Amino acid sequence: MSKTITCSAPVNIAVIKYWGKRDEELILPTNSSLSCTLSQDQLQTRTSVSFSPTYTKDRLWLNGKEEDVSKSARLRNCLSETRRLRSEYEASLEKKGNSSVAKLSQYFVHAASINNFPTAAGLASSASGYACFVFALCKLYELPISVSDMSRIARTGSGSACRSLFGGFVAWEMGQLKDGSDSQAVQIAPETHWPEIEAIILVVSDAKKATSSTSGMQTTVQTSELLQHRISEVVPRRMKEIIHAIEQKDFKAFAEITMKDSNQFHAVCLDTYPPICYLNDVSKKVIELLTAYNSGPDGIKAAYTFDAGPNAVIYAPKANIKELIQFISFYFPSPRSNPTAYFPDPLKIFQGE
Ligand code: PMV
C-alpha cells in the first residue's frame, strides 16, 4: 500500500513582526504577530508527500536537493507529531471496533518541496514550506484535526508557518501556556474581506541571508533592551490597533502601523549585539522613496515592510498599484522591462497631480 498527496501553500508577510522566542524547542514567541497571506499566484511552495512499505527512512528534497532529515529537529518535530496523531487515531478507530484500520503510522515518508521564489532570502520561504509540509502530512495521514491544530504543528517547524495555514489576515496569538497548546494562528479576516489591497514584492537580492532568523532572534532576546519595550508595550497596543484598522478597512492606519512595525523590528535588530542589519542600501532607498510617495496631499498611499532580509513587500490599494509600479520602475529600471516606455515626473506623483 502506498499513497501520495500534493499540496501548495502561500507565503505570509507579517505587518506586526514576530521576533524572539520564549521557548526555543516548542517555538513559542515573545510576542503575538499578524500577517497577510499572499495569493498563491504570487509566491508559493508545492510539496508532495508519500509513504510506502518499500521506504527505509524518512527523506526530504528541498528544491531538488536532499536535506538530512535526521539533522533537522524542525522537520522531525513535524513528522513525529503528525505520526503520533496518526497512531493515536488508529488506536481510537480500533477501539471503536474498526478491525481494518490502515497502519499508516508505521511507514516512512518521502517528501519533495519546491518554492517558486528565492529560498531563505527573507521572503518567508520557511512559512509556506512548513505550512505546506504539515498540511500535506495531515492529509496523507487523514487526520481528523482542525486547521488551528495544524497551525500548532507547523509552528514547531517554523514559527511564522502557523500563519500560512489560513488565508487573509491572520494573527499568531503568542499564548500563555508552557506547553504551547494555546500558541496558534487565528484568522482575523478572510481574503474576501479586503480584496482592494494588493502586495508588490521587490526582490532586492535573492542571496541567502547571512544571519538566519533562528540565530538572529536568539541574540536579540539575549542582548536587546529595546526588545523588552517592544514586546511589553508596543506590540500589544499595535495588535489591537491594526485589527481595528483591518476591520474598518482603514488603509492609512493599517499602512502607518505596518511601516512603523517594520522600522521597529529592524531597529531591534540593530539594537542586538553584535548588531544585525538585514536592510541594504537599496532597501533604504525603497523606504526613502515610499516616504516621499506618501508625503503628497493624499497622505499614505502605500506601506513598505521588510522581513529578515533586504527584499521589500509593499501593500497598497489596487487603485494605486499601476502608479506605484511606474514610480518604482522609474528609480529601479528592470533590465527585463523597457525603461523608455514610461518616464513619469516623480514630483507630480508626490504632489498627487
Ligand atoms: O518563522 P521564522 O523563524 O522564519 O521567522 C520569521 C521572522 C520574520 O519573518 C522576520 C517576521 C514574521 O513575523 O514573519
Residue-level pLDDT at 43: 83
Residue-level pLDDT at 8: 93
Evaluate if residue 332 carries a pLDDT over 80. yes
Task: State the Cα–Cα distance between residues 3 and 53, nearest whole angstrom.
Answer: 10
Which are the contacts of 344, defined by CB distance < 8 A and separation ≥ 6? 323, 326, 327, 330
Evaluate if residue 284 carries a pLDDT over 90. yes
Pairing, β 59-62 against β 108-115: parallel
* 126 C-alpha to ligand 1 centroid (Å): 8
DSSP state for residue 234 in the 8-state scheme: I
Cβ–ligand 1 contact at 33 (below 6 Å): yes
| 268 contacts 227 by C-beta, under 8 angstroms | yes
Cβ–ligand 1 contact at 261 (below 6 Å): no
Residues in the chain: 353
Cβ–ligand 1 contact at 20 (below 6 Å): no
Cβ–ligand 1 contact at 159 (below 6 Å): yes
Report the complex ipTM: 0.99
Q: What percent of the chain has pLDDT over 90?
A: 82
Pocket test for ligand 1, best of 11, 19, 133 (most atoms within 8 A of CB): 19
252: left (phi over 0), alpha (psi -120 to 50) or beta: alpha
- Using pLDDT thresholds of 50, 70 and 90, give the confidence band for residue 349: very low
Evaluate if residue 2 carries a pLDDT over 90. no
Pocket test for ligand 1, best of 160, 258, 262, 278 (most atoms within 8 A of CB): 160
Least reliable range by pLDDT among 221-230, 267-276, 333-342 = 333-342
Residue-level pLDDT at 348: 42
* 275 C-alpha to ligand 1 centroid (Å): 18
Task: State the Cα–Cα distance between residues 28 and 351, nearest whole angstrom.
Answer: 45
Cβ–ligand 1 contact at 307 (below 6 Å): yes
Evaluate if residue 50 carries a pLDDT over 50. yes
Task: State the Cα–Cα distance between residues 303 and 287, nearest whole angstrom.
Answer: 9
Pairing, β 59-62 against β 65-67: antiparallel
* 291 C-alpha to ligand 1 centroid (Å): 24
Closest CA to 51 of 87, 104, 103: 104
Average confidence (pLDDT) over 37-44: 86
Most confident of 57-71, 102-116, 267-281, 323-337: 267-281
pTM equals 0.91
Evaluate if residue 346 carries a pLDDT over 60. no
Pocket test for ligand 1, best of 18, 156, 238 (most atoms within 8 A of CB): 18
* 92 C-alpha to ligand 1 centroid (Å): 37
Task: State the Cα–Cα distance between residues 171 and 189, nearest whole angstrom.
Answer: 10
Residue-level pLDDT at 207: 78
DSSP state for residue 233 in the 8-state scheme: I
* 283 C-alpha to ligand 1 centroid (Å): 18
pLDDT digits (tens, 9 = 90+) for 170-206: 999 999 999 999 999 999 999 999 999 999 999 888 7
* Phi, psi angle pair for 122, to nearest 5°: 80, 25
Cβ–ligand 1 contact at 305 (below 6 Å): no
Query: Could you count the other beta carbons within 10 Å of the beta carbon of residue 135?
Result: 24
In angstroms, how far apart are the furthest CA atoms of the chain? 75
* Phi, psi angle pair for 115, to nearest 5°: -100, 140
At 352, which amino acid appears?
A: G
- Using pLDDT thresholds of 50, 70 and 90, give the confidence band for residue 352: very low
- Using pLDDT thresholds of 50, 70 and 90, give the confidence band for residue 258: very high
- Using pLDDT thresholds of 50, 70 and 90, give the confidence band for residue 338: very low
Residue with cell 539575549: 222
Residue-level pLDDT at 119: 67
Closest CA to 221 of 273, 294, 184, 278: 273
At 335, list the grid cell.
533590465
Task: State the Cα–Cα distance between residues 182 and 31, nearest whole angstrom.
Answer: 13
Closest CA to 129 of 234, 10, 14: 10
At 91, list the grid cell.
488506536
Average confidence (pLDDT) over 93-112: 93
Q: Between the CA atoms of 150, 155, 157 and 160, what dihedral angle is there, to the nearest 10 degrees?
A: 120
Evaluate if residue 69 carries a pLDDT over 60. yes
Cβ–ligand 1 contact at 126 (below 6 Å): yes
- Using pLDDT thresholds of 50, 70 and 90, give the confidence band for residue 122: low
Residue-level pLDDT at 204: 86
Evaluate if residue 165 carries a pLDDT over 90. yes
